[in-house]
Homo-oligomer: A and B are copies of this chain.
Amino acid sequence: MLPPPPAAAVEEIAAFGRFAASRGWVPATAGNFSRRIDARHVAVTRSGVDKGAIGAADVATLALDAPIPAGISAEAPLHLARYRTDPAIGAVFHVHTVAATVLSRLDERAGAVRTEGYEMHKALAGYASHESVVEIPVFRNDQDTVALADEIEARLGRDARVPGFLLAGHGLYAWGANAAEARRHVEGLEFLLACHLEERRLRCTQH
């Protein structure tokens, strides 16, 4: 059995959880969060935990190359796959927001939610101007998260252009080099989705 994760990693995860809960982004114990510990280990939230009140006992250490023990979030394979594919990733956060859930269903067939011309693009690492297009990939949802992780990694690869994706009818994943950047990417993508959803609503008024 692996030792518990470092207190600093637990606190970074818990702090993001408190923030996400205050925004209503982790209803009904939904969502799961992880933080890289070293090249071969990550800290991941256990399943069924109130994400606004995470304590040390609610986060477990997992090895990137070992089977996942019981009691860990069923979506841990999606987290581990991201860390294995891209060694620069230091944190992965997954939340359930209304905008992410609704848009992921609307654009599942298109395969991406596409935004253009927003200043908020610059919140995403690698985007230096609003004169750009952001395509947030949308994947089908699947309870077999090992198979799903393979599908996702095959499309994203090591240098994903956008630091996040949507699962259809499910929610938003985002990551970063550390917890602060992963949070910035969650907030930036959620803001883009909220604006885009609002524009989709308004289309009915423009004709």
Contacts and interface: CB of A to CB of B under 8 A. Distances in A.
Contacts of A28: 120, 123, 184-185, 187-188, 191
Contacts of A106: 202
A178 B30 CA distance: 18
Nearest to A129: B143
Given A143-B128, A195-B102, A201-B205, A23 B24 contact: yes
Contact of A130 (B118, B143, B184, B197): B143
Interface in A75-113: 96, 98, 101-102, 105-106
Interface string A151-190: 0000000000000000111110000000010001101101
A38 to B, nearest CB: 26
A65 interface: no
Contacts of A24: 23
Interface in A6-29: 23-24, 27-29
B203 A169 contact: no
Contacts of A168: 117
Interface residues of A, number: 47
A200 B190 contact: no
A185 B130 CA distance: 26
Given A98-B191, A191-B28, A119 B170 contact: yes
A194 interface: yes
A119 B28 CA distance: 12
Contacts of A199: 102, 105
Given A102-B202, A197-B198, A96 B117 contact: no
A204 interface: yes
A-B pairs, 5 with minimum CB distance: A119-B170, A28-B123, A28-B188, A28-B187, A27-B187
Interface of A: 23-24, 27-30, 50, 96, 98, 101-102, 105-106, 117-120, 123, 128-131, 141, 143, 167-171, 180, 184-185, 187-188, 190-191, 194-195, 197-205
